[in-house]
Amino acid sequence: MNPTLPVSILSLAGTLYFLAFLLHLAAFLGPVERANRWALVLVRVGFLVHTFFFFSEPKAEGLLIPVSTFGQVMGFFSWALAFVYLVLLAGVQSESFGLILAPLLSLFVGVGLLNYDSGSTTVPNPLNPYFVLHLGTAFFAYASFTLSFAAALLYLIQHRALKRKRGGSFYHKLPSLESLERLIYSPMAWGAFLLLGAVGIGLLWSKSAFGKFWLGEPKAVTTMGVALFYLALLYAHYVRSARGKRVIVISLIAFLMIFVSFFGTNLFGGGFHRLLR
Amino acid sequence: MIQFFVYGINYKNCPVQIRETLHFREKRLPEAFQGIRREWPSVETLILSTCNRVELYFSTEETGITSEAVTDFLASFHGIDPCQFQSFAYRYEGREAVRHLFRVASGLDSMVVGENEILGQLREAFRAAQNAGTVDSVLYRLSERAIRVGKGVRTRTKINEGAVSIPSVAVELAEKIFGRLRGEKVMVLGTGEMSELTLQNLKEAGADLVYVVSRNEERGSSLAEAFGARWVSSESWTDRMVEVDILMASTSAPHPVVKREAVKRAMEERRHRPLFLIDIGVPRNIEPEINTLDDVYLYNIDDLQEVAQSNLRLRRNEIRQAEALIEEAVEDYLGWVEQLQAGPTIQSLQEYFDSLMAEELERLGPLAPEEKKRFEEFARRLRSKFLHAPLEALKESSRTGSVRRTLESLHTLFRLPVKTP
């Protein structure tokens, strides 16, 4: 296969996501509600093309999941985002939510394409099933939390529009608070479950690759903290029936903690996860 | 030539008492159509009669159906004096009449711009005329087209977006908070007329009225019974606030009866499940500071009116785009009518030429089969070349709206007989 072909396929996926964004924008600004439906079709086609890209990509560097460069991380993350929305959240999708999702997907793919060189990894035995599962679950978890975060922002915008008692585009076009709540908590539940899985599988992999559990590794510790924080939020919502703005604002704080856990530990914390850089 | 016109009265200048007397009830529509048939046997008719307008659409080959004649028909049918409504009546003809019907179908001529009800009423009027057999090619196509234009304008513009009446704004807001209403619990304080109307709308949308709070037990119980709810005395309602999702207040109390502290307490107990408060009492029944509480959405009558007005403004901004779509449809429809009018003349012209050819072939006397075939082929080619230019001229003039003059010229030049489409 021509080495530039996979990148062309990724560009095609990015273009489809971008076209979907334009259609969502048309539906948001104008009366063409049907554009939302076409946009969702484009996102689905884009996702299929994106999936095909991962199979067509050369795996010379030995990683089953391509995350050895920043571009690859972005490319895979956007695919995980689309997967979570289209597959895991199939029951709670909202047509107008695509207005947030589609630009995120095209942005991440676009950024990924800027720096999509095949890199190599210093990870020992990158094809180890524990390692592959660890990466997959972690990415899907982050994608789920990103969706939950986006829905939380939309909730606050709609909440504000309702409080200010004025009509306008947001008030009319955004989903109801009820559906946005579903879009916040469903991916949050998936995310917490997957993140816990990622930590657990990561520990198993450290044992199999290095002979000991990396219990004190900075990213593992902070990630565990984030997962527990999210679990507490989910407990408050599903068991204690806590609802409304306050819990949603706390979920935004939880998402900021992910940033600290993901980037902060890489930049300042050292630890094993630096091997992946 | 086909002529169409509309004669009617509407809410813009005609008082409701007169509109009521001129209204055609569904049961009497067949009788009305029969009356029109007796009066003008060869016309096509459509009667659009709603609470806001009574309009009679006519398409006819006849001339001289005057406004006075239609006025007399209406007056005798409804048994009223023509002087009572004559001055409010309007009449639009040809292009204006088509444009008017398309505007009516699109909701541009409605009291509430963009309202959807008129499209259903037009559909009903069309169905009634079809059943009575009073619509033929011209009005059939016109009515069908009007319904399509009405739908098209609503899907291609925002003319019907957003609720514009107080009860429907309340429902729209409830749906923005709770999503599609599926048994959300409603409690109402007071039994005013507006609250009943709003409750009706909420119920139709899927909410469930559970408590009616009223000092007057008899009135409260009667309203509660009508909606399958329970009456609660005005002393014990605050405890129920935890259970409900929508609370509407419409009492005649001179001071707020829903206090911030009570709602705050209820919200803690509800664990901040959203609460929608509708205050349609004057003076206000709910303390305005309540809106500062998280997850409580308080709308008083002014707020609801403001949302309705803002939605109406949004709709009005769409009028220009809607008018452009209507204008396009008017041109298209009139083009079709002109082509329809040209049909008999084209046929006459073809027949005229065929008869000339047949006459000339006859004069040649008996011909050998081979020769006859050649002459017939010659005649066919000549006919087609001869007719090409006038047919093209007709097509062009039907596009530019001058078909009538072209048809008259053809009739004069070739002394064609007059035929009807």
Residues B267 and B199 grouped into a single domain: yes
Residue B7 is predicted with a pLDDT of: 96
Residue A214 is predicted with a pLDDT of: 77
Most confident of A164-168, B231-235, B264-268: B264-268
Question: Which amino acid would we find at residue A158?
Answer: Q
Q: Which two tokens stand for residue A147?
A: 């969706």
Q: Could you tell me if residue B315 is inside a domain?
A: no
Most confident of A211-225, B92-106, B352-366, B371-385: B92-106
The residues that bridge with B92 in the sheet, in sequence order, are B6
Tell which residue, A134, A149, A141, has the closest CA to residue A67.
A134
Residues B15 and B153 grouped into a single domain: yes
Low-confidence ranges of chain A (pLDDT < 70): 1-3, 31-33, 58-64, 117-126, 166-169, 264-277
Minimal-distance CA residue of chain A relative to B322: A31
H or E element, residue B106: helix B94-106
Q: Find the CATH number of the domain harbouring B71.
A: 3.30.460.30
Taking contacts as CB-CB distances below 8 angstroms, the residues of chain B near A151 are none
Query: What are the angstrom distances between the C-alpha of A165 and each of A170, B275, B277?
Result: 12, 15, 13
Pairing assessment for the beta strands B185-189 and B230-232 based on DSSP bridges? unpaired
Query: What are the angstrom distances between the C-alpha of B152 and each of A157, B137, B157?
Result: 32, 22, 8
Residue with tokens 């239609």: B70
Q: Which domain-ending residue is among B308, B342, B371?
A: B308
3-state SS string over chain A?
Answer: CCCCHHHHHHHHHHHHHHHHHHHHHHHHHCCCCHHHHHHHHHHHHHHHHHHHHHHHCCCCCCCCCCCCCHHHHHHHHHHHHHHHHHHHCHHHCCHHHHHHHHHHHHHHHHHHHHCCCCCCCCCCCCCCHHHHHHHHHHHHHHHHHHHHHHHHHHHHHHHHHHHHCCCCHHHHHCCCHHHHHHHHHHHHHHHHHHHHHHHHHHHHHHHHHHCCCCCCCHHHHHHHHHHHHHHHHHHHHHHCCCCCHHHHHHHHHHHHHHHHHHHHHHHHHCCHHHHHC
Taking contacts as CB-CB distances below 8 angstroms, the residues of chain B near A181 are none
Residue A90 is predicted with a pLDDT of: 80
- For residue B295, give how far its alpha carbon lies from the nearest alpha carbon of chain A (Å): 6
Residue A1 is predicted with a pLDDT of: 41
pTM: predicted TM-score of the whole model, two decimal places: 0.73
- For residue B154, give how far its alpha carbon lies from the nearest alpha carbon of chain A (Å): 9
Residue B400 is predicted with a pLDDT of: 67
Tell which residue, A33, A141, A196, has the closest CA to residue B155.
A33
Higher pLDDT, A29 or B266: B266
Suggest the residue from B263, B273, B291, B295 to mutate for an interface test with chain A (most A CBs closer than 10 A).
B295
Torsion of the alpha carbons at A210, A213, A216 and A221, rounded to the nearest 10: 110
Whether chain A has a CB inside 8 Å of the CB on B40: the answer is: no
Reported as a single tens digit per residue, the pLDDT across B139-148 is 999 999 999 9
Across residues B47-61, what is the average pLDDT?
92
- The answer to whether A148 and A101 have CB atoms below 8 angstroms apart is no
Which has the minimum average pLDDT: A258-267, B148-157, B373-382? Answer: A258-267
Suggest the residue from B157, B270, B292, B294 to mutate for an interface test with chain A (most A CBs closer than 10 A).
B294
Q: Which two tokens stand for residue B390?
A: 């006038």
The single-letter DSSP state of residue B269 is H
Interfacial residues of A (vs B; Cβ cutoff 8 Å):
30-32, 34, 158, 162-163, 165-168, 171-172, 175-179, 240-247
Measured in degrees and rounded to the nearest 5, phi and psi for residue B43 equal -95, 155
Burial of residue A248 (number of CB atoms within 10 Å: 0-12, 13-18, 19+): buried
Cα distance between residue A130 and residue A137, in whole Å:
10
Cα distance between residue B239 and residue B243, in whole Å:
8
Residues B174 and B297 grouped into a single domain: yes
Taking contacts as CB-CB distances below 8 angstroms, the residues of chain A near B303 are 165
Strand ranges across the sheet with B296-300: B230-232, B208-213, B185-189, B246-249, B275-279, B296-300
Whether chain A has a CB inside 8 Å of the CB on B160: the answer is: no
Q: Residue B283: is the preceding peptide bond cis (ω within 30°)?
A: yes
Minimal-distance CA residue of chain B relative to A159: B295
Residue B312 is predicted with a pLDDT of: 85
- For residue A170, give how far its alpha carbon lies from the nearest alpha carbon of chain B (Å): 11
Q: Is the pLDDT of residue B60 over 70?
A: yes
Q: Which domain-ending residue is among B159, B174, B209?
A: B159
Residues B93 and B154 grouped into a single domain: yes
Q: Which domain-ending residue is among B159, B177, B200?
A: B159
Residues B295 and B399 grouped into a single domain: no
Give the count of Cβ contacts less than 8 A between chain A and B. 70
Residues B11 and B150 grouped into a single domain: yes
Question: Hey, where are the domains in chain A?
Answer: 1-122, 125-272
Q: Could you tell me if residue B235 is inside a domain?
A: yes
Across residues B70-91, what is the average pLDDT?
94
Residue A96 is predicted with a pLDDT of: 77
Suggest the residue from A29, A160, A176, A185 to mutate for an interface test with chain B (most B CBs closer than 10 A).
A176
Residues B225 and B372 grouped into a single domain: no
Residue A277 is predicted with a pLDDT of: 46
Residues B71 and B121 grouped into a single domain: yes
Residues B13 and B138 grouped into a single domain: yes
Residue B260 is predicted with a pLDDT of: 95
The separation between CA A68 and the C-alpha centre of its own chain, rounded to angstroms, equals 18
Cα distance between residue B51 and residue B24, in whole Å:
10
Cα distance between residue B39 and residue A64, in whole Å:
86
Whether chain A has a CB inside 8 Å of the CB on B12: the answer is: no
CA–CA–CA angle A107, A113, A116 (5° rounding): 135
Residues B170 and B210 grouped into a single domain: yes
Residues B30 and B67 grouped into a single domain: yes
Q: Could you tell me if residue B320 is inside a domain?
A: no
Tell which residue, A141, A80, A78, has the closest CA to residue A107.
A78
Residues B99 and B22 grouped into a single domain: yes
Contact between A167 and B310 using a beta-carbon 8 Å cutoff: yes
- For residue A106, give how far its alpha carbon lies from the nearest alpha carbon of chain B (Å): 28
Reported as a single tens digit per residue, the pLDDT across B290-324 is 999 999 999 998 898 888 888 888 888 889 899 99
Q: Is B297 helix (H, G, I), strand (E, B) or coil?
A: strand
**DSSP calls for B50-70:** -SSEEEEEEEES-S---HHHH
Residues spanned by the domain of B336: 331-414
Q: Which two tokens stand for residue A148?
A: 């939950």
Q: Number of folded domains in chain B?
A: 3
Whether chain A has a CB inside 8 Å of the CB on B320: the answer is: no
- The answer to whether A244 and B272 have CB atoms below 8 angstroms apart is yes
Q: Is the pLDDT of residue B283 over 80?
A: yes
Q: Which residues of B are catalytic?
A: 51
Rounded to the nearest integer, the mean pLDDT of chain B is 88
Residue B315 is predicted with a pLDDT of: 86
Contact between A179 and B179 using a beta-carbon 8 Å cutoff: yes
Across residues B188-211, what is the average pLDDT?
88
